Amino acid sequence: MNTNQLSHRLERVASYAAGFHIVADIGSDHAYLPCYLCLKDDSLKAIAGEINEGPYQSALKQVRLSQLEDQIDVRKGSGLNVLHQGEEIDVLTIAGMGGPLIASILDEGKDKLMGVKRLVLQPNVASHAVRQWIMDHHYRIVAEDILEEDEKIYEVIVAEPSEAKVAYTETELWLGPILMQHQTSVFKKKWEHEKTSWKRVLKQVQLGNKSVELEEKQADLNRKIKMVEEAL
């Protein structure tokens, strides 16, 4: 990968971060995303955050190679700790992590989100955990995307602050309120696969010795299978 040609996944994330002035990318993976955005817009400023020394050094190297030291500030630290209190940030991007980890990063750093106009989040798994956080913290989902790359399916969730708390149903939290409205072939493929997996697990659960725990597991699987069947 180079900074002029991102993966389709990161290109999709970048498309929702373009047009703003200051972008912070958390868990920046060689600073590919900030470099890509800054090469396309020389007025853009970006922060690339990395927690571990190796990726931090890789991000510094990539920024130097791209000659973007004046536009991109590479910082080492955990999650949103790389941001300064009251620092102006237009867009925050977090891509390529599990949904619960993204939610945890946002939760632990929510005092740094004041003034942030947009969150662009790309969970690799458990997107519902991200949507739950969005709903619980007075944000609303303004765009969603889904794509397949290298036999993996990814979702992109874009959220902006909301004065009123937005309530999403359980189905919307799992499948995505906007993705549900525009069901692409990739969306249907993902949820048919999930449904098949849940049915396979359900068969195994039904073969087990009866217990309260297994009965609860069976009820949960049946509920999710029904949820997907009704949505598709």
Q: Which tens digit of pLDDT belongs to each residue from 42-91? A: 999 999 999 999 999 999 999 999 999 999 999 999 999 999 988 999 99
What CATH code is carried by the domain that includes residue 153? 3.40.50.150
Model pLDDT, residue 4: 63
Contact criterion met (CB below 8 Å) for 103 and 76: no
What is the pTM for the complete model shown? 0.94
CA distance 97 to 225: 25
Looking at the DSSP bridge assignments, the partners of residue 141 are: 159
**Do 167 and 199 share a domain, yes or no?**
no
Range of the structural domain that residue 219 is part of: 187-231
166-199 pLDDT, tens digit each:
999 999 999 999 999 999 999 999 999 999 999 9
C-alpha closest to that of 26 among 212, 152, 17, 147: 17
Position 63 in a domain: yes
Give the mean pLDDT of 144-163.
97
**Do 157 and 211 share a domain, yes or no?**
no
111-152 pLDDT, tens digit each:
999 999 999 999 999 999 999 999 999 999 999 999 999 999
Position 166 in a domain: yes
**Do 164 and 224 share a domain, yes or no?**
no
**Do 102 and 141 share a domain, yes or no?**
yes
Residue 55 is encoded by which pair of tokens? Answer: 């990726």
The length of the chain is 232
Q: Three-state DSSP class for 41?
A: coil
**Do 55 and 157 share a domain, yes or no?**
yes
Position 179 in a domain: no
Crossing angle for the helix pair 127-136 and 99-108, nearest 10 degrees? 30
